[in-house]
Amino acid sequence: MRRLFVMAAALSVVASSSFAAGMGVSFEWGPTKKCFDSKSPPIVLSNVPAGTVKLEIKMIDQNASYNHGGGNVAFSGQSQLPYGAFKYKGPCPPSGTHFYKITVKALDASGKALASGSATQPFSKK
């Protein structure tokens, strides 16, 4: 029984570390020109796992703990999501510069998360 428990724990560590390795996500504001621009910024992806059919994207203002929403995008092997790939409530700090975190989850056909990654960028009111 103990041997079975140790094997299960080892498999759990391997599974979680492969998930933890995650995928690469980066973005620049690029064409985002104004506060509350409803078009998402361009996002670059790497190491998206095989079996991914959908990407779930969310953005949080880390200074204000404000959820700006996000969207879902069908995945067919692309390494970039263009400006406006989904609609959301764009950044608009009340003053100064805020830091915005975009998180992307790779989902399989059943909706199971295969991997995730995130990136953070500053944005100043324009």
Classify burial at 12, counting beta carbons within 10 Å of its beta carbon; exposed 0-12, middle 13-18, buried 19 or more: exposed
Domains present along the chain, CATH in parentheses = 22-124 (3.90.280.10)
**Tens-digit pLDDT profile for residues 24-42:** 999 999 999 888 999 999 9
Backbone angles phi, psi at 30, to 5 degrees: 50, -115
List for the chain the helix, strand, coil content (%; round to 5). Answer: 15, 40, 45
- Predicted pLDDT of residue 75: 98
**Tens-digit pLDDT profile for residues 64-105:** 999 999 999 999 999 999 999 999 999 999 889 999 999 999
- Predicted pLDDT of residue 31: 94
In this structure, which amino acid lies at residue 94? Answer: P
- Taking residues 43-61, what's their average pLDDT? 97
